[in-house]
Chains A and B, each alone.
Chain A
Amino acid sequence: MKNTDEIQQHIKDLLSNQKLAILATSDEGQPYTSLVAFVASDDIKHIFFVTPTSTRKFANLKKDCRVSVLINSSTNQASDFHEAISVTIIGGAEEITTSKRKIYLKNYLAKHPYLEDFARSPTCALVRVTAKSFFLVKNFQRVMELHLTDEIDHTGLNG
Chain B
Amino acid sequence: MKSIIPASMAKKKDRRRIGGKGQSLASMAQQGFNIPETLFITSDLYDEFVRLTGLRERILLELHRKDFREMRWEEIWDCATRIRNMFLRTPIPPKLEIMLKEAINIHFPDKPVVVRSSAPEEDTASSSFAGLHESYVNIRGIRAILEHVLKVWASLWSDAALLYRQEIGLNVEKSSMAVVLQEIIVGDRSGVTFSVNPNDARQGIIESVYGLNQGLVDGAVEPDRWIMDRENRKVIAHSPAKRKHWIIALENGVKLSHLPDTMSMQPPLNAAEAHKVFDLAMNAENFFNAPQDVEWTFKRNDLYVLQSRPITTLSPQTPKDNRGWYLSLHRSFENLKALRENIEQNLIPGMISAADQMSSIDLMALSDAALAEEIKHRWEINHKWVTVYWEEFIPFAHGVRLFGQVYNDTMHPEDPYEFVDLLTQTEMASLERNRMLEDLAERIRMDHNLAAQLESKDYSKLDASFLEQIQLFIETYGDLTCSVTGATQCDQDAQPLFNILLQMAAHQTVSNKHRKSRRTDDLKKKFLSRFEADQKSDAAELLDLARTSYQLRDDDNIYLGRIESQLLAAVQVARQRIDLQESSKIVGRPSTALIDVLADLDHRSKPTSPYERKSGQPFEVKPRQLIGQPAGPGIAKGSARVVQQHSDLSDFKYGDVLVCDAVDPNMTFVIPLASAVVERRGGMLIHGAIIAREYGLPCVTGIPDATAIIRTGDQTTVDGYLGIVTIGSSDI
- Taking Cβ atoms with an 8 Å cutoff, the residues of A that contact B are 27, 30, 32, 52-56, 59-60, 109, 112-114, 116-118, 121-124
The answer, among A27, A112, A121, for a CB contact under 8 Å with B732, is A27
Given contacts A27-B732, A32-B732, A113-B57, contact A54 B726 (CB under 8 A): yes
CB distance from A38 to the nearest CB of B (A): 16
B730 to chain A: which residues have CB within 8 Å?
27, 55-56, 59-60
Asked if A114 and B56 sit within 8 Å, CB to CB, the answer is yes
Within 8 Å by CB of B58, from A56, A116, A122, A124, lies: A116
CB distance from B499 to the nearest CB of A (A): 30
Q: A27-B732, A32-B732, A113-B53 are in contact. Are A52 and B719 (CB under 8 A)?
A: yes
Given contacts A30-B732, A32-B732, A56-B732, contact A114 B58 (CB under 8 A): yes
Let me know if B254 is at the binding interface, CB within 8 A: no
* Distance in Å: Cβ of B322 to nearest Cβ of chain A: 30
Contact across chains for A121 and B61 when beta carbons are under 8 A apart: no
Check A123–B722 contact: CB distance below 8 A: yes
Question: Cβ of B633: which chain A residues have Cβ within 8 Å of it?
Answer: 122
From residue 53 to 70 of chain B, which have CB atoms closer than 8 A to chain A? 53-58, 60-61
Complex Cα–Cα for A10 and B56 (A):
30
Q: Any chain A CB within 8 A of the CB of B635?
A: yes
Most buried by B among A55, A60, A117, A123: A123
Which A residues lie within 8 Å of B504 (CB)?
none
With CB as the reference atom, state the residue of chain A lying closest to B726: A54
Bound-complex Cα distance A60 to B633 (A): 25
B30-58 residues with Cβ-Cβ distance < 8 A to A are: 53-58
Query: Would A113 and B58 be within 8 Å (CB), given that A55-B726, A122-B721, A123-B719 are in contact?
Result: yes
Is there an interface contact between A123 and B732, defined as CB atoms closer than 8 Å? no
Q: Closest 8 CB pairs between A and B?
A: A113-B54, A114-B57, A59-B730, A121-B721, A54-B717, A114-B58, A54-B726, A114-B54
Q: How far is the CB of B582 from chain A (nearest CB, A)?
A: 51
Closest to B635 in A: A123
A32 contacts across to B, CB distance below 8 A = 732
Interface-centre pick from A53, A109, A114, A122 (highest chain B CB count, 10 A): A114
Contacts of B55 in A (CB 8 A): 113-114
Cα separation A114 to B58 with both chains bound (whole Å): 4
Bound form: Cα–Cα A32–B624 in Å: 15
Query: Known contacts being A56-B732, A59-B730, is A118 close to B722, with CB within 8 Å?
Result: yes
Give B466-518 interface residues, CB cut-off 8 Å to A. none
* Chain B residues in 8 Å Cβ range of A27: 730-732
- The answer to whether A117 and B717 touch across the interface, beta carbons within 8 angstroms, is no
| B150 beta carbon closer than 8 Å to chain A | no
B717 contact set on A, CB distance < 8 A: 54
* Cβ–Cβ < 8 Å partners of A53 in chain B: 635
Is B724 part of the contact surface with A, judged by Cβ < 8 Å? yes
Q: Which chain B residues lie closer than 8 Å to A122 at the CB level?
A: 633, 635, 721
Q: Which of A52, A60, A113 interacts with B724 by CB under 8 Å?
A: A52
* Measured CA separation A57–B632 after assembly (Å): 25
Chain B 688-732: CB-based contact to A (< 8 A → 1; otherwise 0): 000000000000000000000000000001010110101000111
**C-alpha gap A148/B19 in the complex (Å):** 56
Bound complex: CA of A124 vs CA of B61, how far in Å?
17
Known: A30-B732, A55-B726, A112-B54. A123 touches B721 (CB 8 A): yes
The interface residues of chain A lying within 8 Å CB-to-CB of B732 are 27, 30, 32, 56
In the complex, the chain A residue whose C-beta lies closest to that of B729 is A59
Within the complex, which residue of B53, B60, B724, B731 is in contact with A54, where a contact is CB–CB below 8 Å? Answer: B724
A59 surroundings in chain B (CB, below 8 A) = 730
In the bound assembly, the distance between CA atoms of A123 and B61 in angstroms comes to 18
New A-B pairs, 16, CB < 8 Å, besides A54-B719, A114-B60: A27-B731, A27-B732, A30-B732, A52-B724, A52-B726, A53-B635, A55-B730, A60-B730, A109-B54, A112-B54, A113-B55, A114-B57, A114-B61, A118-B722, A121-B719, A122-B721
A123: chain B residues at CB < 8 Å are 635, 719, 721-722
**Assembly CA distance A109 to B586 (angstroms):** 78
CB contacts (< 8 Å) of B731 on chain A: these are 27
Chain B residues whose C-beta falls within 8 Å of the C-beta of A114 in the assembled complex? 54-58, 60-61
A sample of 22 inter-chain contacts (CB < 8 A) reads: A27-B732, A30-B732, A32-B732, A52-B722, A54-B635, A54-B717, A54-B726, A55-B625, A55-B730, A56-B732, A109-B54, A112-B54, A113-B53, A113-B54, A113-B58, A114-B55, A114-B56, A114-B61, A116-B54, A117-B722, A123-B635, A124-B722
Query: In chain A, what residue has the closest Cβ to B625?
Result: A55
When C-beta atoms are compared, the residue in chain A nearest to B633 turns out to be: A122
List, in ascending order, chain B residues with CB within 8 A of A30's CB.
Answer: 732
Q: Taking the nearest CB of chain B, how far is it from the CB of A149, in angstroms?
A: 33
A52 to B624, CA, bound (A): 14
Residues of B within 8 A of A112 (CB): 54
- Give A156 Cβ to nearest chain B Cβ, in Å: 13
Output the least CB separation between B715 and chain A (Å).
11
How many Å lie between the Cα of A122 and that of B634 in the bound state? 8
Smallest distance from the beta carbon of A13 to chain B beta carbons, Å?
A: 22
- Of B58, B624, B633, B732, chain A has the most CB atoms within 10 Å of the CB of B732
Looking across the interface, which residue of chain B has its beta carbon closest to that of A109? B54
Q: Which residues of A lie under 8 Å from residue B719 when comparing CB positions?
A: 52, 54, 121, 123
Q: Please, how many angstroms separate the alpha-carbon atoms of A87 and B483 in the complex?
A: 63
Q: Which of A30, A109, A113 has the most CB of B within 10 A?
A: A113
Please measure, in the bound complex, the distance between the C-alpha atom of A133 and the C-alpha atom of B724, giving whole angstroms.
Answer: 35
Q: CA–CA, A53 to B722, complex, Å?
A: 11
Select from chain A the residue with minimum beta-carbon distance to B716.
A54
Closest to B725 in A: A54
Chain B residues whose C-beta falls within 8 Å of the C-beta of A55 in the assembled complex = 625, 726, 730
Interface residues of B in 604-638 (CB under 8 A from A): 624-625, 633, 635, 637
Instruction: Provide the residues of chain A in CB contact with B56, threshold 8 Å.
Output: 114
For residue B52, give the distance in angstroms from its CB to the closest CB of chain A: 9
Distance A109 CA – B55 CA, assembled complex (angstroms): 12
A55-B206 Cα distance, complex, nearest whole Å: 63
Q: How far is the CB of A107 from chain B (nearest CB, A)?
A: 14
Q: Which residue of B lies closest to A122 (CB)?
A: B721
Closest B residue to A62 using CB positions: B730
A27 to B730, CA, bound (A): 9
What's the Cα separation between A102 and B245 when bound, in Å? 54
Query: A145 to B53, alpha carbons, bound, how many Å?
Result: 37
Q: Smallest CB-CB separation from B56: which chain A residue?
A: A114
Looking across the interface, which residue of chain A has its beta carbon closest to that of B52?
A: A113
Determine the distance from Cα of A79 to Cα of B637 in the docked complex, in whole angstroms: 47
Residues of B close to A52: CB separation below 8 A: 719, 722, 724, 726
The reply to whether A121 and B58 form a contact with Cβ atoms under 8 Å apart is no
- Residues on the B chain within 8 Å of A118, using CB: 722
Bound-state CA distance A30–B717 (Å) is: 23
CA distance A79 to B633 in the complex (A): 47
Q: What distance in Å separates the Cβ of A25 from its nearest Cβ neighbour in chain B?
A: 10
B380 to chain A, nearest CB (A): 47
Chain B residues closer than 8 Å to A113, beta-carbon distance: 53-55, 57-58
Report B-chain residues with C-beta under 8 Å of the C-beta of A117: 58, 722
Q: How far is the CB of A66 from chain B (nearest CB, A)?
A: 16
A115 smallest CB distance to B (angstroms): 8
CB proximity of B184 to chain A, nearest CB, Å: 35
Cα distance A37–B513 in the bound complex, in angstroms: 43
Smallest beta-carbon distance B720→chain A, Å:
8
CA distance A149 to B101 in the complex (A): 52
Query: How distant is the Cα of A122 from the Cα of B57 in the complex, in angstroms?
Result: 21
Chain B residues with Cβ below 8 Å from A121 are: 719, 721-722
Chain B residue, CB-CB nearest to A120: B721
